[in-house]
Structure formats: structure tokens, C-alpha cells
Amino acid sequence: MRIGKVLGPVVSTKKDEHLEGEKLLLVQVVDVDGRALGDPVVAVDRVDAGTGELVLLVDEGGSARMVVGDPKSPVRTVIVGVID
């Protein structure tokens, strides 16, 4: 699991059929001090996170697909919690 900061929504005119109905957010992975680590990632939002919030990420493909409940989904990263 990793920590991330939500940068904003991802708008898509066409999605893979396995992602229909899923909310996608652009998230910057950060360290415990809030410093950015690498490039931002697109994550499926399972907790209704908002822009600017710190979130908990599952960032492994197999585990992320288990959270989504679809073994054929092209998902790598899922937001599973909001950090208070």
C-alpha cells in the first residue's frame, strides 16, 4: 500500500468495458512527509475521494483487481481509503 494525494478527476470519452461506471482520479504518490514520488498515476476511486485529499492506495495489479472484483479489469491502482 502507498499514500497519495488526489490531484483531480480524469475525464474519459471512452473507457475499457471493465471500467465503465468507475470514477477515475489522478493521484500523486507521496512519502510520509508529503514529497512527491515519481509521476502521477490514474487510480480507480472506491471511497469517493476528493481533490486535495490524502488517500491510501493499493498499487499492485493483482490486488487492485481483487478490490475491483474483476480479474480481467485493466486496473493497477485503486483508492481504498481516505487518510484523516
CATH 2.40.50.220 correct for 2-11+19-82? yes
Beta-carbon contacts of 58 under 8 Å, excluding residues fewer than 6 positions away, are 1, 64, 67, 77, 78, 80
Instruction: Report the chain (84 residues): mean pLDDT per 10 consecutive residues.
Output: 96 87 95 96 95 94 79 88 94
- SS3 assignment, position 66: helix
Q: How far apart are CA 22 and CA 36, in angstroms?
A: 25
Q: How far apart are CA 26 and CA 8, in angstroms?
A: 5
Amino acid (one-letter) located at 31? D
pLDDT number for residue 19:
84
pTM value? 0.89
